[in-house]
Amino acid sequence: MNVIDVLNKEQLKDSVPEFRPGDTVKVYSKVVEGGKERIQMFEGVVTVRKGGGAHESITVRRVAHGVGVEKSFLLHSPRVERIEVSKRGIVRRSRLYYLSEKIGKAARIKEKKAVKQ
């Protein structure tokens, strides 16, 4: 195995849940303000999941005070504390760029119903 592959494998996180574009997630990331560090939550719809391995990133979109906000996160970054999946969405695309043009109820995504066991 290549030395670079070994280093990349060491940096991968085990705690990344399984999710796809269209799912609503809560991303808890560490933010440094002055000399203090705190954890900030960002909840929104996953629009893009790019890359692979240690370089994998996601883009999360939400509407705050009528303005669309998109934020990109590296999945295996030490700045990302944890990711929680709150809703599963039904979409047929891997890149949901069309959501940025939609506003209000038109930007909603249908929710996948949970299967009872």
Domains of the chain: 3-103 (2.30.30.790)
**Predicted confidence (pLDDT) per residue in 27-60, tens digit:** 999 999 999 999 999 999 999 999 988 899 999 9
**Predicted confidence (pLDDT) per residue in 79-116, tens digit:** 999 999 999 999 999 999 999 888 888 888 999 887 77
Give the tokens for residue 52: 């692979």
| pLDDT, greater one: 92 or 117 | 92
Q: Listing from the earlier edge strand, what are the strands of the sheet with 57-64?
A: 67-74, 57-64, 36-50, 24-33, 80-87
Can you give the pLDDT at residue 117?
A: 66
C-alpha–C-alpha distance, residues 79 and 53, integer Å: 17
C-alpha–C-alpha distance, residues 102 and 15, integer Å: 33
